[in-house]
Structure 1
């Protein structure tokens, strides 16, 4: 009988220990702050290769240095990069006070973007190319909502300047290329 009571007491004690539990919950927090900015390196383009006019259409190219684009905003709002150039002008052209090449003379090569490290994969970042010496330029990169977060390498194949014999005069032509980076996608 004593053995039986000891077994019952042991089972009761085990059940009471198992049946009584206390839960503890941890609620850790992690503060995450974005920089508030999207940045890109300055655009650096080499001088165009010199050419000699011979009465035919000529093209010349300029290489563009790779750039680093960083979105550390922490918003996922996306961004756009636009390139726009002024018309190429030749202030020293003879028989004319100013010679300007026609709109569409300067075209970008292919634009590439590569994610660095653990950046958002490039699934919906669009690239574009085309003539940039016009009123609106070209939005060369567009990252939509929740795209483009992190660090990226941006490459532009050589730019091409086309000189038509009816428009080109001997001398030195200049243009200013402006790159605009805007937070939030525009297209």
Structure 2
């Protein structure tokens, strides 16, 4: 064997050895695509938010003009947020607390009529990114009282996710004047509180 053949053999052995070392290093240090995917799936988690409703008014104040059988008020604005991410839908209910005559601070005992909530002039606007907006249970007016919550707004499955602003008209809430005050010529005023509640589910 001549000197050049020995040199070539040594070079081939060195190249083979270096190649083997590189392959071993790659196998040890580079994770497979499967292991990367598994690790990413393990670390990613999603936490759902809450669902709630907030009214802009704590108390509703009714003003009655002398000689009128009705007193009117604004129901206020509502902010409805569904951040659960479930898409299960929801239902909005409302009832009133007992009505108080502000001049005497007494609860009205002979009040037999309900409050009328007008929705014809109400608007529902969703923030950017919100799902299909909810709908009123029916058009026109809702008769509400302080006994049982009344369903007024509804979001079906896949609707109502995100944030919505509900704005009522200026005279959106009306009440019939109690019998004892119908013939009173004074400008009487009354107040109550609307209790809004939102229930998750279709």
TM-score tier after normalising by the smaller chain length: 0.5 to 0.7
> Do the aligned residues in 1 keep the contact of 2:63 with 2:190 (CA within 8 Å)?
no
Structure 2 residue runs without a partner (length 5+): 1-32
Identify the residue that residue 198 of structure 2 maps to in structure 1: 181
Equivalent in 148, 153, 156 of residue 141 of structure 1: 153
1:109 shift after superposition: 1.4
Identify the residue that residue 63 of structure 1 maps to in structure 2: 74
Alpha-carbon displacement from aligned partner over 1:6-26 (angstroms, at most 9, x marks no partner): xxxxxxxxxxxxxxxxxx678
1:152 shift after superposition: 0.7
Q: TM-score, normalised by structure 1?
A: 0.65
Identify the residue that residue 119 of structure 1 maps to in structure 2: 130
Equivalent in 54, 75, 91 of residue 80 of structure 1: 91
Alpha-carbon displacement from aligned partner over 1:66-124 (angstroms, at most 9, x marks no partner): 2211111111121111110145354978xxx96432132x11111432211010022xx
For 2:74 and 2:152, the matched residues in 1 are separated by 16
For 1:120 and 1:34, the matched residues in 2 are separated by 16
CA RMSD of aligned residues (A): 3.0
For 2:53 and 2:164, the matched residues in 1 are separated by 9
Q: TM-score, normalised by structure 2?
A: 0.61
